[in-house]
Amino acid sequence: MKHYSVGGTSYLAKRLGGKEKIVHALDGVSFDVNKDETLGVVGESGCGKTTLARTVLLLTPPTSGTILFEDCDITKLPSRDLRALRSKIQIVFQDPISSLDPRMRVRDIVSEPLIGAGLRDQKVLRERTEAMLERVGLSRDAMNRFPHQFSGGQRQRIGIARALVCEPEFIVLDEPTSALDASIQAQVLNLLRKLRKDMRLSSMFISHNINVVCYMSERIAVMYAGEMVEVGPTREILSNPSHPYTQTLLAAVPKVDPTRRRADTEIIGEQPSPVSPPSGCRFHPRCPFVMDKCRTVKPDQIAVSPNHWASCHLLSK
Amino acid sequence: MGAFLVRNKLSLAGGIVAAAYLVLALVVTLVGSHIVPYDPFVQNFAQTLLPPSSQHLFGTDDLGRDIFSRVISGAPIEAQIAFSVVLVSLAFGGTLGAFAGYLGGIVEEVVMRVTDIFLSFPALVLAMAVAIAIGPGLTNSMMALLVVWWPWYSRIARGEALSIKSSQYMEAARAAGLGDVQIVVRHILPNILMPLLVYATLDISNVILTGSILSFIGLGAQPPQPEWGRMVFDGQDYLSGAWWMSVLPAFAIFVVVLAFSLFGDGLRDAFDPKLRRR
Amino acid sequence: MATPLLSLENVRLEFGTEQGIVHALRGVDLTVGTNEVVGLVGESGCGKTVLGLSVLDLNPVPPANLLPGSRILFQGRDLAKLPRNEFALVRGTGISMIFQEPASSLNPVFTVGDQIAESIRLRIQRQQNSQPSAPLSQTVNQEVLEALKLVRIADPERVARRYPHELSGGMKQRAMIAMAMAAKPSLLIADEPTTALDVTIQAQILRLMRDLMKEVRTSILFITHDLGVIAEIADRVAVMYTGRIVEEANVEELFKEPLHPYTQGLLASLPKLSELDKEIQQLPGSVPDAINPPEGCSFHPRCKFAMDHCRTKTPELKTIKPGHKVACHLY
């Protein structure tokens, strides 16, 4: 059952100054997130995943396309209804330092979504905030303290508490552990796994770290230069990566095992600028299997197996 | 911050003098003319234009009034003008600027253009223009200053609002479903308060000076109010002979303005992250 | 046994801060031999960056303070005892350093070529300090192009004329490596050089560094928090925790049989593509405060094997197996 469906969404920003240029931050991105499922989104810097996180929640409205939450197109909602909807869709940000207002106490930070949802009863606000803080592993006396009194991992827990305090149904996790040390990351990831099971959340887990994304997600979407190039169940993508970029990415990830050092496959070039993406298939300048067709014709989404597609001309043979 | 002020002696000296002045102003407001040796309003034609002595510390003026008593009694006036102008400007200008900076678009344009118009004139000239229009008098000169003073705070507030507008916690507030007004009140105003306050402290000396000048040119306080600027004005004709009539009130203005100025400087330096030596 | 290229003995360093004294390095012993890559791994605050900077005396003094008894030997010579001009020669010709953010190490108002040329010129002048004439610009330019070719930049003449902001992240990092390698140093200290880069670019840079090591016979002290990168590039690994080295071994040995509970915990806390079913093990607690680290073994509050005397007695770094040292009371 589709919980969250994004169809053909684009975010084409206009960059001004001299010549008007279009920044193709997101170009025709389509995917679904099913109930109780986590979709992982992986890609390198500039692929558009950060823009995707903002656009999916309409923090930055897309320039075109539809976003359906439980069959309702939220891009068409008037702003008041959209604000009311926000208690059901929430986000955890990347930076534990700048995502918390340094001048607010923790209890005010965490209870903010409840206030946004219209809750005014001080007693209920306090109870729910306390309960949520306990669930993320922080003690009650955290309520009256300020963010700078906490460590990075604890601040991220505060951010998680804030996102979950109004019991949303869908959350976006935008690089939630990228700023944390490895040992703290493990704590936060395990906490997220437990919470999403207990609270029956659907979510989107965005990260540049493939290991983390695969650990946290049942399905994965690979992004490149503003487009999704491959989507499928995690295990299938790992065992049968079908898009050349996915293959490149998996080959490039350092394995935590010195006996399995990468074969020295040559990986060339860098991700294109979103202002002037290559024609046809955007990966063609770096693709080891490039054909003539790839330079001019954009590939369709081709099914590799029932749940797994990739957009590559190689697959349409 | 306290440690820093102690290191910067001038600033500390300024702060102490400013604090002493405020205490004095408060005492005079509460207790009135009981603490001064002579009634500041009573005229005594037998004692006109006496030079400073042990009986009249600052001498007497052309109407026989003790200047020292008048200076002390007039102390609260400067403080009242300065604090009310600064506080109202900060509240009004600061809030307006915060909204302008956060909302952007046409609101920002309109507010900033209006601000720019005000800012293109020196404050004194504008205040004079308004004061002339509405007539002389202490309250009128305060209103004139109020009309003219808020744009500076608007501009600062808007700049600060712009710089925090794109912080992640602002995005989080929107993601939480808060409306624009809620966001400005909950997040922007508390975060811009500090820079505004620092500027305000420095500004107090400016307001005192401008207010005194308005009185000095006859537009502000009217006789017999013992406002310092007015007293300087009154003593102009006697500068060659009874210099103490103008010079001593002018000196009082100078000391207070300098004190607030030095203190405000030190406060600003204490909050400037680049100057902090770690 | 040959003299190691770099030898750090009982290095202790503290920082004076307003909150108290930060014990950044608390007795570090480490060697780097010729032609090897030594990985220095640890989480934030463990002191690995400070250690890297200490070799070239780049920690700002004050507030940094290298405590007496610390010895840093390069090619057998004590760096602290070298006269200034000789130490200046070591910096940049004997030992070079590259950092995490190439953007902040490259001057934005000079072209890449100019910056590489500057380090070459300085090196030539220092090496020929009996003839302080400026080196020929032809020689210098030639060396600039060679340095750029060394880091596999396809069009060196064009790139040399570019300003840093015109280059991508990966290219900037290559430029920085070119600058560091232009002097053909015997030792390259690399502090998180690939952390800010995309994974595919990181793979390219790591491969470049391995190749350079073989071609130019430069040893590398590779500092990072990323165990995956260490597995890719290091020959030997030293694990740091709160200013001390807690384990040191060959890279295969470390990953196959980690002995120190911290190393074990760190490895177990990483999600691995080959083991997605297992829930990752988390280490409890967090990295301790560097101003007041726990007494005895500073890992004891988080260690599931902690015994009584772990709280009071600091374990020494001892060789347990050939080539494998651990600082832990379990052994």
Contact criterion met (CB < 8 Å) for C200 and A44: yes
Position B277 scores a pLDDT of 43
The alpha-carbon gap from C45 to the nearest alpha carbon of chain A, in Å, equals 10
Residue of chain C whose Cα is closest to the Cα of B276: C18
For residue C127, give the H/E element and its range.
helix C112-127
The alpha-carbon gap from C127 to the nearest alpha carbon of chain B, in Å, equals 37
Residue B235 forms part of a structural domain: yes
Q: Which domain holds residue B47?
A: 2-271
Kindly state the DSSP code that residue C316 receives in the 8-state scheme.
P
Chain A environment of B176 (Cβ under 8 Å): 86, 90, 112-113, 115-116, 162
Question: What is the set of domains in chain A, with CATH numbers?
Answer: 2-88+171-183+194-316 (3.40.50.300), 95-167 (no CATH)
Contact criterion met (CB < 8 Å) for A181 and C271: no
- What DSSP letter does each residue of chain B carry, written as one string? -HHHHHHSHHHHHHHHHHHHHHHHHHHHHHHGGGGSSS-SS---GGGTTPPP-SSSTT-B-TTS-BHHHHHHHHHHHHHHHHHHHHHHHHHHHHHHHHHHHHH-HHHHHHHHHHHHHHHTS-HHHHHHHHHHHH-SSHHHHHHHHHHHHHHHHHHHHHHHHHHHHTSHHHHHHHHTT--HHHHIIIIIHHHHHHHHHHHHHHHHHHHHHHHHHHHHTTSS--TT---HHHHHHHTGGGTTT-THHHHHHHHHHHHHHHHHHHHHHHHHHHH-TTT---
The pLDDT confidence band at residue B272, using thresholds 50, 70 and 90, is low
The alpha-carbon gap from B178 to the nearest alpha carbon of chain A, in Å, equals 5
SS3 state at C247: strand
The total domain count for chain B is: 1
Handedness of CA C268, C273, C279, C284 (dihedral sign): positive
Chain B neighbours, 3+ Cβ pairs < 8 A: A, C
Chain-centroid distance of CA A212 in Å reads 12
Compute the half-sphere exposure of residue C147: CA atoms within 13 Å on the CB side of its CA. 29
Cβ contacts of residue A201 below 8 Å, gap of 6+? Answer: A36, A164, A168, A169, A170, A171, A195
Provide the token pair at A29: 């991105």
- Mutation target among B1, B7, B278 for the C interface, most CBs of C within 10 A: B278
Mean pLDDT calculated for residue range A203-217: 93
The alpha-carbon gap from C276 to the nearest alpha carbon of chain A, in Å, equals 6
Position C187 scores a pLDDT of 93
Chain C environment of A248 (Cβ under 8 Å): 200
Contact criterion met (CB < 8 Å) for A115 and B178: yes
The torsion angles phi and psi of C267, rounded to 5 degrees, stand at -65, -40
* Rounded-to-integer distance, Cα C328 and Cα B68, Å: 80
Residue B111 forms part of a structural domain: yes
The alpha-carbon gap from A130 to the nearest alpha carbon of chain C, in Å, equals 21
Position A20 scores a pLDDT of 65
The pLDDT confidence band at residue A288, using thresholds 50, 70 and 90, is confident
For residue C78, give the H/E element and its range.
strand C77-78
Kindly state the DSSP code that residue C61 receives in the 8-state scheme.
T
Within an 8 Å CB–CB cutoff, is residue A194 touching chain C?
Answer: no
Position A262 scores a pLDDT of 67
Residue of chain B whose Cα is closest to the Cα of C60: B278
Query: Taking a C-beta distance cutoff of 8 angstroms, is the pair C287, C242 a contact?
Result: yes
Residue B67 forms part of a structural domain: yes
Contact criterion met (CB < 8 Å) for B174 and A91: no
pLDDT of A6-53, one tens digit each?
Answer: 766 667 665 544 566 777 888 888 888 888 899 999 998 888 888 899
For residue C142, give the H/E element and its range.
helix C137-150
Position A211 scores a pLDDT of 92
Within an 8 Å CB–CB cutoff, is residue C227 touching chain A?
Answer: yes
Contact criterion met (CB < 8 Å) for C282 and A187: yes
Contact criterion met (CB < 8 Å) for B172 and A98: no
Chain-centroid distance of CA C61 in Å reads 20
Is residue B273 pLDDT above 70, yes or no?
A: no
Contact criterion met (CB < 8 Å) for C168 and A235: no
Pick the residue with more confidence: C325 or A273?
C325
* Rounded-to-integer distance, Cα C199 and Cα C232, Å: 13
Give this prediction's pTM: 0.85
- Residue B276: count of CB within 10 angstroms of its CB: 11
Contact criterion met (CB < 8 Å) for B169 and A100: yes
Ordered by start, the domain boundaries in chain C are: 6-291+311-326
Going from the C-alpha of A282 to that of each of A245, A246, A273, A296, C217, the distances in angstroms are 10, 13, 11, 10, 39
Say if residue B183 is exposed, middle or buried (CB neighbours under 10 Å; 0-12, 13-18, 19+).
Answer: buried
Closest CA to B33 of B76, B81, B79, B80: B76
Q: Domain containing B200 — which CATH number?
A: 1.10.3720.10
Rg over CA atoms, chain B: 22
Query: Taking a C-beta distance cutoff of 8 angstroms, is the pair B220, B144 a contact?
Result: no
Handedness of CA B5, B10, B13, B18 (dihedral sign): negative
Residue of chain B whose Cα is closest to the Cα of C15: B278
Within an 8 Å CB–CB cutoff, is residue B178 touching chain A?
Answer: yes
Query: Taking a C-beta distance cutoff of 8 angstroms, is the pair A221, A237 a contact?
Result: no
Residue of chain A whose Cα is closest to the Cα of C196: A45
Overall size of chain C counted in residues: 331
Residue B278 forms part of a structural domain: no
Mean pLDDT calculated for residue range A277-285: 87
User: Residue C225 region, left (φ>0) first, then alpha (ψ -120 to 50), else beta?
Assistant: alpha
- Taking CA C229 as the corner, what is the angle to CA A194 and CA A227, rounded to the nearest 5 degrees? 65
Contact criterion met (CB < 8 Å) for A83 and B179: yes
Cis amide prior to A233 (ω within 30 degrees):
no
For tokens 């307006």, name the residue: B96
Residue of chain B whose Cα is closest to the Cα of A110: B176
Q: Give the rounded percent of residues in chain A with a pLDDT score beyond 70.
A: 92
Is residue A155 pLDDT above 80, yes or no?
A: yes
Mean pLDDT calculated for residue range A98-121: 92
Rg over CA atoms, chain A: 21
Query: Taking a C-beta distance cutoff of 8 angstroms, is the pair B71, B58 a contact?
Result: yes
Please name the member of B167, B171, B176 whose beta carbon is closest to the beta carbon of A112.
B176
Within an 8 Å CB–CB cutoff, is residue B169 touching chain A?
Answer: yes
What is Dmax (Cα atoms) for chain C? 68
* Rounded-to-integer distance, Cα A24 and Cα A42, Å: 18
* Rounded-to-integer distance, Cα A262 and Cα C204, Å: 11
| Inter-chain contacts counted by CB atoms under 8 A, chains A and B | 66
Within an 8 Å CB–CB cutoff, is residue A261 touching chain B?
Answer: no
Q: Give the rounded percent of residues in chain B with a pLDDT score beyond 70.
A: 95
- Residue C141: count of CB within 10 angstroms of its CB: 16
Please name the member of A95, A109, A117 whose beta carbon is closest to the beta carbon of B177.
A117
The alpha-carbon gap from B201 to the nearest alpha carbon of chain A, in Å, equals 21
Position A16 scores a pLDDT of 47
Is residue B276 pLDDT above 50, yes or no?
A: no
Q: Which residues of A27-61 are buried (b: 16+ CB within 10 A; e: fewer)?
A: bebbbbbeeebbbbbbbbbbbbbbbbbbbbbbebe
Contact criterion met (CB < 8 Å) for C204 and A215: no
Residue of chain A whose Cα is closest to the Cα of C273: A211
Contact criterion met (CB < 8 Å) for A252 and C251: no
- Mutation target among B168, B185, B186 for the A interface, most CBs of A within 10 A: B168
Query: Taking a C-beta distance cutoff of 8 angstroms, is the pair A160, A176 a contact?
Result: yes
- Beta bridge partner(s), residue B260: none
The alpha-carbon gap from C302 to the nearest alpha carbon of chain B, in Å, equals 32
Mean pLDDT calculated for residue range B38-53: 82
Within an 8 Å CB–CB cutoff, is residue A149 touching chain C?
Answer: no
Within an 8 Å CB–CB cutoff, is residue A57 touching chain B?
Answer: yes
* Rounded-to-integer distance, Cα B84 and Cα A123, Å: 38
Residue of chain A whose Cα is closest to the Cα of B166: A98
The alpha-carbon gap from A53 to the nearest alpha carbon of chain C, in Å, equals 19
Overall size of chain A counted in residues: 317
Residue B157 forms part of a structural domain: yes
Query: Taking a C-beta distance cutoff of 8 angstroms, is the pair C191, C52 a contact?
Result: yes
Rg over CA atoms, chain C: 21
Range C6-291+311-326 classified under CATH 3.40.50.300: yes
Query: Taking a C-beta distance cutoff of 8 angstroms, is the pair A159, A131 a contact?
Result: no
Residue B37 forms part of a structural domain: yes
Question: How do the pLDDT tens digits run along chain C, 331 residues long?
Answer: 568 899 999 999 998 888 889 999 999 999 999 999 999 999 988 999 999 999 988 888 888 888 888 999 998 888 888 888 788 878 877 899 998 887 778 888 899 999 888 888 877 776 666 555 666 778 888 888 988 888 888 888 888 998 998 888 888 899 999 888 887 888 999 999 988 888 888 888 898 898 888 888 899 999 999 999 999 899 999 999 999 999 999 999 999 999 999 999 999 999 888 888 888 888 888 888 888 888 889 999 999 898 888 988 899 899 999 989 999 998 8
Per-residue H/E/C for chain A: CEEEEEEEEEEEEEECCCCCEEEEEEEEEEEEEECCCEEEEECCCCCCHHHHHHHHCCCCCCCEEEEEECCEEHHHCCHHHHHHHCCCEEEECCCCCCCCCCCCCHHHHHHHHHHHCCCCCHHHHHHHHHHHHHHCCCCHHHCCCCHHHCCHHHHHHHHHHHHHCCCCCEEEEECCCCCCCHHHHHHHHHHHHHHHHHCCCEEEEEECCHHHHHHHCCEEEEEECCEEEEEEEHHHHHHCCCCHHHHHHHHHCCCCCHHHCCCCCCCCCCCCCCCCCCCCCCCHHHCCCCCHHHHHCCCCCEEEECCEEECCHHHHC
Within an 8 Å CB–CB cutoff, is residue A184 touching chain C?
Answer: yes
Chain B environment of A104 (Cβ under 8 Å): 186-187, 190
pLDDT of B89-145, one tens digit each?
Answer: 999 999 999 999 999 889 999 999 999 999 898 888 988 899 889 888 888 888 899
Contact criterion met (CB < 8 Å) for B168 and A94: yes
Mean pLDDT calculated for residue range B136-163: 90
Within an 8 Å CB–CB cutoff, is residue B273 touching chain A?
Answer: no
The alpha-carbon gap from A312 to the nearest alpha carbon of chain B, in Å, equals 36
Provide the token pair at B76: 């609260």
Residue of chain B whose Cα is closest to the Cα of A108: B186
The alpha-carbon gap from C20 to the nearest alpha carbon of chain B, in Å, equals 12
* Rounded-to-integer distance, Cα C61 and Cα C65, Å: 6
Query: Taking a C-beta distance cutoff of 8 angstroms, is the pair B149, B115 a contact?
Result: no
Position A17 scores a pLDDT of 45
Chain A neighbours, 3+ Cβ pairs < 8 A: B, C
Residue B277 forms part of a structural domain: no
Position A244 scores a pLDDT of 92
